[in-house]
Amino acid sequence: MELIRYLYILLIIIISGRELKSQPAPAVDENIHSLITFGGNAVTSWGDDDFCQIFFFVVPYSQTSPVYLRVFDPDTGGDLDEVKGGFNTVVNFSIYGGTGCWSDTAAQSIHPGGNFKSGYLMTERNFGADPKFDKKWHTFGPLSPFEGEKAEKLGGHVFKIIAQGISGDDDNIYKYFLSTNPGENIPVEGGNLFTCKYHFRLPDNQKEVCHIYPFADDKTISVQISNFDWDNDGIIRVFSVAKNGINCEVSGEDNWISKTLPIVEEEKNSSIEIQFIKNQNETIRNFKGIILLLLTISLPVINADPQDYNFRSFSSSEGLAAPYVYSTIQESQGYLWIGTADGLSKYNVFTFKTFTIPDSVADNFITSAIDDGSCLWFGHRNGRITWFDGKKFKPVNYNGRQLSSITHFAKSPDGRI
């Protein structure tokens, strides 16, 4: 018998499709026209719900020489971009590396907020209406591969690029390419670009069909396909070895809609094709959409057979806050919380995230923990207590009294701690 817990993985829209080869974003086989980001003063019903697009790019460990991230037509002005009256938009492109630039949960969130600009800022530039960048490539770099965040499960170092509308209300239309050369598009062997939430523009030609190809591994049990502001201007259809053109609900103006499809056994370890087919009865130009894919993954975490245990050890080199552990607790959502002498670490099966005094934890030395069903409680060596409501840490006021170390918690039959 296995104990199964479910993790919801947002990092699904892998731009390289089925293979980890360097590609532009959008990828050629997707037949998607371009990426889009509106100015910060735009109206969301025009097709952008947050005026911000985050992409990640992986540089494989085998790549030791510098790489370059190139942006096509980064300015907002000229023939390719969509004007709303007169061009007045400024979009900021910024690149981040270092610890947390990818693994921080805020960076992977579908709605930018909190510490979504995690890691350290390597380079940035604002682009307005500037003819010298119209229909031309701008190159960021050189970027040392070793400045990215090391990600074993992705096989390389990860960087983050954020395109964010600062002001104005026009539609900035652009593309990316990960290159080994600052002056031309030469692929990084084994490189990859991906995003958690895809803001894009479809071709004007009604007969062209666009595609994306999420991969369902052997642990995937369902896929949720969400779209924003589709305006009922076409259809979204899903194909696989077991699905022959299932239609997804499409959203109306300025709203999200979702459809969840189960993944059957024969679909595991294969790609799913999601098609975007434009309205054949009406010519619609500058059609934009936002797609979010949510794959539900089942992960076995405990094997109940006493003769078959799998152990894995962790240390500070894997991201644990400190080498000595004083408390552990697994809460209802499956996350493991680990108390150390130098911070509280949260483990999500892939990475550690550490919380300390600046995050409103009462003290960095955590000695005990308990889950009361709605909140987590943490005791500290200095006698302080911190509770966590699922969103924020809140220290308990102790009114300056001298306190002893809290070595354990207990829960009464009526639920009191």
pLDDT of 118: 93
CATH code (residue 335):
2.40.10
Give the integer Cα–Cα distance in Å for 115 and 230. 29
pLDDT of 278: 79
pLDDT of 260: 84
Q: What is the mean pLDDT of residues 62-71?
A: 94
Q: Is the confidence at residue 286, as pLDDT, over 50?
A: no
pLDDT in tens, 15-30: 333 333 446 888 888 8
Are 352 and 255 within one domain? no
Q: Is residue 253 part of a domain?
A: yes
Are 280 and 333 within one domain? no
Q: What is the mean pLDDT of the chain?
A: 81
pLDDT of 352: 87
Are 213 and 358 within one domain? no
First to last CA, the chain: 32
Q: Which of residues 34 and 44 earns the better pLDDT score? A: 34
Are 133 and 267 within one domain? yes
Alpha carbon 233 to chain centroid distance?
Answer: 27
Domain extent for 370: 316-395
Give the integer Cα–Cα distance in Å for 366 and 378. 7
Radius of gyration of the chain (CA): 24
- At CA 193, angle to CA 189 and CA 198, rounded to 5? 160
The count of structural domains within the chain is 2
Neighbours of 408 (CB within 10 A): 10
